[in-house]
Amino acid sequence: MIHKHPVEEFLDKAQTLPIIDVRSPGEYQHAHIPGAVSIPLFDNDERAQVGTKYKNAGKDSAVLLGLSLVGPKLADFVKQSKKLNPQGKEVLVHCWRGGMRSSSFAWLLDTAGLTASTLVGGYKAYRNTVLSAFLEPKKLLILGGKTGSGKTDILKELARQGEQIIDLEGLANHKGSTYGAIGQDPQPATEQFENLIHQQWRQLDCTKRIWLEDESRSIGSCFIPMPLWHQMRAAPVAFIDVTKSCRVERLVHEYAGIDHQLLVDATERIQKRLGGKVTKEALDALMRNDYATVADLTLDYYDKAYLHGLSQRDATQVHPIEIREDKPTETARQLIAWADGQTAKAVLR
């Protein structure tokens, strides 16, 4: 008997069981449930053929065409599925709407001795759950600071010291600035970015605080879900005030060994924002491998942009915290002490 699970139950079981995504490769590549393995019932062309047949000749004709296409693949489907869980016999299966593709695949696995459960409503229902989840209020704290303040390293140190975090830039494979894609893996589609955030979001304890970096709505080509963005904009900001000299030193350390042409291209992309004179000075400095001057020049632009965004927040929610040295471990301790103090004040009110 094939079991069917609603989204939350399906995702709970997915923590210990493999997920098989039987949608087409194109659907999977665009976005999928994190951790799911693609075993497509139809390839991209076959899916198009079946869809066209359904539109022109009806369901029965489409089903017959589908059967003729998948028939030679049945044994391979079973072999691939069994490899995913060699220690057990249970797997999870889903398609787009929880209809014929996943039901047929699950039936095949069931006849081959596996226990296959499907997702009620399919990937479409999962996506509805993802988007609605960000409406759930959580106790967010925002780690703010100008470019080069080491916020990502501090965020990771907060996690090591027992705090809950979501590293949005890590999930987006981008550090936020025009230089942010350098040295990173390709960015996911925004839909997949949302799925990745949700994977962590649903695991968090909503009774405890959660730290995120202060971000623009877009991180490279990825967009933060609007409900989460609104929560972030309303949350208290711990603004770490790090000296420019410390930030220049950190940026030089991060970018000095990177492909020279990538730095040139990134600098030219913000020419209109920097202005012609500053861009020329920065490019000349790059030619001399004078990375400190490049960082110093570009930080003038990024600092103005960041402070403008910060000024759009409720000033009573922005809490400056002076940081004298670039030591993420110590900064994390200082932030935790500050956050504990904020909690204590709230209790006394």
Look at the chain and report how many structural domains it folds into: 2
Q: Does 103 lie in the same domain as 22?
A: yes
Q: Does 298 lie in the same domain as 151?
A: yes
Task: Tokens for 335, please give them.
Answer: 């932030």
pLDDT tens track for 95-118: 999 988 899 899 889 988 899 999
Q: Does 148 lie in the same domain as 82?
A: no
Nearest to 154 by CA among 254, 240, 251: 240
Instruction: Report yes or no: 87 and 60 within 8 Å, Cβ to Cβ.
Output: no
pLDDT value for 327: 93
Q: Cα dihedral sign for 124, 125, 128, 130?
A: negative
pLDDT averaged over every residue in the chain: 90
Mean pLDDT of 225-239: 96
What CATH code is carried by the domain that includes residue 103?
A: 3.40.250.10
pLDDT value for 346: 60
Please say if the pLDDT value at position 261 is more than 60: yes
275: left (phi over 0), alpha (psi -120 to 50) or beta: left
What CATH code is carried by the domain that includes residue 252?
A: 3.40.50.300
Nearest to 241 by CA among 175, 313, 285, 303: 303
Q: Does 150 lie in the same domain as 87?
A: no
| Banded model confidence at residue 137, pLDDT cuts 50, 70, 90 | very high
Please say if the pLDDT value at position 349 is more than 70: no
pLDDT value for 36: 98
Please say if the pLDDT value at position 344 is more than 80: no
Please say if the pLDDT value at position 145 is more than 60: yes
Q: What is the 3-state secondary structure (H, E, C) of the chain?
A: CCEEECHHHHHHHCCCCCEEECCCHHHHHHCCCCCCEECCCCCHHHHHHHHHHHHHHCHHHHHHHHHHHHHHHHHHHHHHHHHHCCCCCEEEEECCCCCHHHHHHHHHHHHCCCEEEEECCHHHHHHHHHHHHCCCCCCEEEEECCCCCCHHHHHHHHHHCCCEECCHHHHHCCCCCCCCCCCCCCCCCHHHHHHHHHHHHCCCCCCCCEEEECCCCEECCEECCHHHHHHHHHCCEEEEEECHHHHHHHHHHHHCCCCHHHHHHHHHHCHHHHCHHHHHHHHHHHHCCCHHHHHHHHHHHHHHHHHHHHHCCCHHHEEEEEECCCCHHHHHHHHHHHHHHHHHHHHHC
pLDDT value for 45: 74
Q: Does 233 lie in the same domain as 96?
A: no
What order do you get walking across the sheet with 140-144 strand by strand?
Answer: 164-165, 210-213, 140-144, 237-242, 318-323
Q: What is the 3-state secondary structure (H, E, C) of 110-124?
A: HHCCCEEEEECCHHH
The pLDDT > 90 percentage for the chain reads 68
Mean pLDDT of 279-301: 92
Domain of residue 342, residue span:
135-348
Q: Does 139 lie in the same domain as 127?
A: no
Q: Which of 79, 111, 131 is the last residue of a domain?
A: 131
| Banded model confidence at residue 234, pLDDT cuts 50, 70, 90 | very high
| Banded model confidence at residue 208, pLDDT cuts 50, 70, 90 | very high
The catalytically annotated residue of 95, 206, 222, 246 is 95
Please say if the pLDDT value at position 164 is more than 90: yes
Please say if the pLDDT value at position 322 is more than 60: yes
Q: Does 172 lie in the same domain as 61?
A: no
Q: Does 204 lie in the same domain as 333?
A: yes
CA triple 99-83-72, angle to 5 deg: 60
pLDDT tens track for 27-67: 999 999 999 999 998 877 777 777 777 777 767 676 676 66
| Banded model confidence at residue 332, pLDDT cuts 50, 70, 90 | very high
Q: Which of 101, 131, 161 is the last residue of a domain?
A: 131
Nearest to 210 by CA among 219, 220, 197, 222: 197
More confident residue, 270 or 7: 7
| Banded model confidence at residue 254, pLDDT cuts 50, 70, 90 | confident
Q: Does 165 lie in the same domain as 111?
A: no
Please say if the pLDDT value at position 345 is more than 70: no
The pLDDT > 70 percentage for the chain reads 95
pLDDT value for 68: 67
pLDDT value for 10: 97
pTM: 0.91
pLDDT value for 57: 73
pLDDT value for 74: 85
Nearest to 101 by CA among 132, 63, 153: 63
Q: Does 27 lie in the same domain as 62?
A: yes
| Banded model confidence at residue 94, pLDDT cuts 50, 70, 90 | very high
Q: Does 141 lie in the same domain as 113?
A: no
Residue 95 is a catalytic residue = yes
Q: Does 146 lie in the same domain as 104?
A: no
Q: Which of 100, 131, 162 is the last residue of a domain?
A: 131
Residue 208 has φ and ψ, to the nearest 5°, of: -115, 160
